[in-house]
Structure 1
Amino acid sequence: MKRLFYSTDSLDDAEMISDEVHQLGIDDHHFYVLSRDESGIKTHHLHGSTQIEKTQILSARKRAFLLAGATALALLTFMYFFTDLTNKFLLQALAASIIGGFVVMFIVKLAGKSFDEYFQLLVNEHLDAGDVIIIIDVERSQTHKVETQLEGHPKAQFLADSSNLASPIPD
């Protein structure tokens, strides 16, 4: 799935956008709003929060751990099935896999942390200016349809897109 981020001026606009994307088949579990106006979120019957920090929407660090584990497992699997190293040097093969996993985790975690921090600053900047952030998770096959619909919406401003791997929209 792909995660799309948009901003708009008001919760009224967010509610209109919500109605439009619901007509395209996006349900409430894939549509989320961030706004400093907590009571407004409830009165507009939107699914959302006042702070991005209260959610797990930004998760580049989680993806780093997943990638590191997968790297260590792939390295160990490769050594076990395609070389004789594991028969002769089992402890060294395990150590190499673990070290490889940690190196990948460190590099990706640094990149992920800086992405998460940058994006959190961007979102908070918009929220502090009174904007409403709209987050929509879409299947790859729906992406073009949703993007086209929102390009035609005068109040929807595209911010970014990302993966939603390991970062579900909160209930």
Structure 2
Amino acid sequence: MNRHYYISNNLDDLEQIERELEASGIATEQIHVLSEQDAALERHHVHSVPSVLKTDVVNSGRRGLYIGLALAILVLLVAYFSGWTDSPAGWVPFIFLALILLGFSTWEGGLFGIQTPNQYFRQLQDRLRAGDHVFFVDVEPSQEPVLERIIQQHPYMQQAGVGQARPYWIIAGQQTWNRFRKMI
């Protein structure tokens, strides 16, 4: 899947494009609007980016997890090769310390990421601060002509690039979850 980025300053136009894409078979979960104007987004029926995804919490948390995993393995290896696990306490304190290091590092990574804009949106920060909105769509290769046809009908959309989309299984999971929530 590919992610197509567009920039616009007209939320009414973005709302219309989203409706046209959905009517053409592109799922709501594939369409997003990123904006710093949260109040304006609330007045329009667009699929906005959740606040947590505007930050780099996921990527930084993952980095923290990797650091914590390395520290946990290091603690366990040092304890084993130093012979400290042969004591009456055995492995328990070292496993506990390893789990604490893993959890703390992941938590700290996430806290650092909350303060940082999402790495995929950093190059668009100037446009967002200027009041523009970023419209992006994750499409399969078979959906590319549909997207191009609809975007061509809206001349005020500026193409801002193409990138890698979320994996299909994540989008399918979101669709299943949203259908489940509607049934409840």
Q: Quick check: TM above 0.5?
A: yes
Q: What amino acid sits opposite 2:6 in the alignment?
A: Y
Q: 2:55 matched to which residue of 1? A: 54
Q: 2:25 matched to which residue of 1? A: 25
Q: 2:127 matched to which residue of 1? A: 126
Asked if 2 retains the 8 angstrom alpha-carbon contact of 1:2 and 1:163, the reply is yes
Q: Give CA deviations for 1:13-37 in whole Å, capped at 9, x if unaligned.
A: 2111112211211121111101111
> SS at the partner of 2:156?
coil
Q: 2:137 matched to which residue of 1? A: 136
- Residue 9 of structure 1 pairs with residue 9 of structure 2: yes
Asked if 2 retains the 8 angstrom alpha-carbon contact of 1:36 and 1:50, the reply is no
Asked if 2 retains the 8 angstrom alpha-carbon contact of 1:6 and 1:134, the reply is yes
Please state how far the C-alpha of 1:57 moved relative to its aligned partner: 9.7
Q: Give CA deviations for 1:88-139 in whole Å, capped at 9, x if unaligned.
A: xxxxxxxxxxxxxxxxxxxxxxxxxxxx85x533221111111111111111
Kindly tell me the number of residue pairs found equivalent between the two proteins. Answer: 116
Distance 1:14 1:164, change over 3 A: same
Listed as ranges, the gaps of 5+ residues in structure 2 are: 67-117, 179-184
Listed as ranges, the gaps of 5+ residues in structure 1 are: 66-115
Please state how far the C-alpha of 1:166 moved relative to its aligned partner: 4.9
Distance 2:167 2:57 in 1: 9
Q: 1:84 matched to which residue of 2? A: none
Q: 1:36 matched to which residue of 2? A: 36
> SS at the partner of 2:154?
coil
Instruction: Answer with 1 or 2: which has the greater Rg.
Output: 2
4+ residue segments displaced more than 2 Å: 49-58, 119-122, 165-171
Identity of matched residues, %: 28
Distance 1:17 1:44, change over 3 A: same
Asked if 2 retains the 8 angstrom alpha-carbon contact of 1:35 and 1:127, the reply is yes
Matches within 5 A, 1:49-88: 49=49, 53-54=54-55
When the two chains are superposed, the root-mean-square deviation of aligned CA atoms in Å is: 3.2
Q: 1:148 matched to which residue of 2? A: 149
Q: 2:85 matched to which residue of 1? A: none
Distance 1:121 1:18, change over 3 A: same
Q: Give CA deviations for 1:40-79 in whole Å, capped at 9, x if unaligned.
A: 2122121113766337899xx99xx9xxxxxxxxxxxxxx
Asked if 1 retains the 8 angstrom alpha-carbon contact of 2:17 and 2:150, the reply is no
